């Protein structure tokens, strides 16, 4: 069974993660690249221009970034004892979620944003019961600022950072200001660059929640998505129950971390609706907390055979969706 293969952290298991990533992303080679090269001032535009014209480079860069993120999430989960055993199952779940629809099989802002969000969460989690954590809070703000240079609407996650600090450390104006100062650092460099080249008037293009040239894709949920949505919703309900039980019996630190992840889920779900509807740049961030929730279910359930079958059905529904949309 697939899940059983990932219940360890051997080098061969890491190799299987890479193989599954490329297997799922192999469908991207059959899709036309729908991303446009927006002439803007964001980090994403710069990266897109950098790799433009090189065959398959976008897909390969996306897969490499995805695998790195999956390992980062796995390390954070184990370090903070959000799961009860050392395993690569969270990495597997994250890769599957981030490869679940054809719209996600491309190089897009949400993929890069997730990299900085994971780093931000890691630094915020480390502030728990740390009296001298100004450097960690500043780093978290810096990562958020870098994420917002990919797509400016990510800056709204600053409110999540403030709420997280209030949960993990109790509210402090000093912590909030340090987080905000870290977020502003990338923009100090951006302003300096544009001012030095006497191009300050073009800087306004970066500070836009709705770019003229949209660099993300809107998800059109047709009937082909039905099997995936059915399996995902069912697993999410079961996982929510498992996480709630874990929250009830877990240590105080685990309860607080799970609470912050719940808030992160809420922001990742609601902000796209407020801004511009089905924006894949934001909804991709949901894969971070959901990979933790689903991992808890797959690892802690006593019904191992049922969990294996459920995961196989989820994987089958994803493959089905990719095949019918070729």
Number of domains in the chain: 1
Query: CA-to-CA distance for 260 and 255, rounded, in angstroms?
Result: 9
Q: What is the pLDDT of residue 278?
A: 57
Residue 219 token pair: 């998800």
Kindly compute the dihedral angle of the four CA atoms of residues 125, 296, 65, 102, in this order, to the nearest 10 degrees: -130
Q: What is the pLDDT of residue 116?
A: 96
DSSP 55: T
Beta bridge partners of 279: 218
Q: What is the pLDDT of residue 49?
A: 74
Each residue's pLDDT, cut to its tens digit, for the chain (326 residues) gives: 788 889 888 889 999 999 999 999 988 876 544 444 444 556 777 777 777 766 678 888 899 999 999 999 999 999 998 887 889 999 999 999 999 988 888 888 889 999 999 999 999 999 998 878 899 999 999 999 999 988 888 898 999 999 999 999 888 899 999 999 999 999 888 888 777 776 666 666 666 654 444 444 455 667 888 888 899 899 989 888 878 877 777 788 888 999 999 999 999 888 777 765 555 656 889 999 999 999 988 988 888 899 999 999 999 999 999 998 87
Q: Burial, 192: exposed, middle or buried (Cβ in 10 Å; 0-12, 13-18, 19+)?
A: exposed
Burial track 268-297 (b if 16+ CB lie within 10 A, e otherwise): beebbeeebeebbbbbbbbbbbbbbbbbbb
Q: What is the pLDDT of residue 36?
A: 42
Q: What is the pLDDT of residue 211?
A: 47
Q: What is the pLDDT of residue 246?
A: 75
Domain that holds residue 80: 2-324
């Amino acid at each position: 069974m697939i899940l059983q293969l990932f219940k360890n952290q051997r080098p061969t298991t890491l190799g299987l993660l890479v193989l599954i990533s490329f297997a799922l992303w192999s469908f991207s080679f059959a899709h036309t690249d729908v991303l446009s090269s927006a002439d803007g001032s964001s980090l994403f535009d710069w990266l897109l221009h950098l790799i433009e014209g090189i065959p398959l480079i976008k897909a390969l860069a996306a897969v490499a970034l995805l695998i790195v993120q999956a390992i980062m999430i796995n390390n954070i989960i184990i370090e903070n004892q959000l799961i009860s055993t050392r395993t690569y199952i969270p990495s597997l779940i994250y890769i599957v979620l981030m490869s679940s629809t054809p719209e996600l099989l491309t190089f897009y802002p949400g993929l890069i944003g997730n990299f900085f969000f994971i780093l931000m969460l890691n630094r915020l989690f480390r502030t728990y019961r740390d009296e001298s954590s100004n450097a960690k809070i500043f780093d978290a703000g810096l990562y958020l600022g870098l994420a917002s240079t990919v797509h400016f609407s990510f800056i709204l996650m600053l409110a999540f950072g403030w709420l997280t600090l209030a949960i993990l450390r109790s509210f402090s104006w000093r912590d909030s200001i340090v987080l905000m100062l870290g977020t502003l650092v990338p923009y100090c460099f951006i302003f300096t660059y544009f001012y030095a080249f006497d191009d300050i008037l073009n800087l306004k293009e970066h500070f836009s929640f709705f770019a003229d040239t949209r660099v993300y894709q809107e998800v059109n949920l047709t009937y082909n998505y039905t099997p995936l949505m059915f399996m995902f919703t069912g697993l999410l309900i079961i996982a929510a129950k498992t996480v709630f039980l874990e929250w009830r019996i877990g240590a105080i630190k685990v309860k607080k971390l799970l609470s912050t992840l719940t808030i992160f889920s809420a922001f990742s779900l609601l902000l796209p609706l407020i801004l511009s509807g089905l924006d894949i740049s934001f909804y991709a961030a949901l894969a971070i907390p959901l990979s933790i929730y689903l991992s808890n279910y797959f690892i802690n359930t006593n019904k191992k055979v049922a969990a294996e079958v459920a995961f196989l059905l989820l994987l089958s529904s994803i493959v089905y969706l990719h095949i019918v949309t070729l």
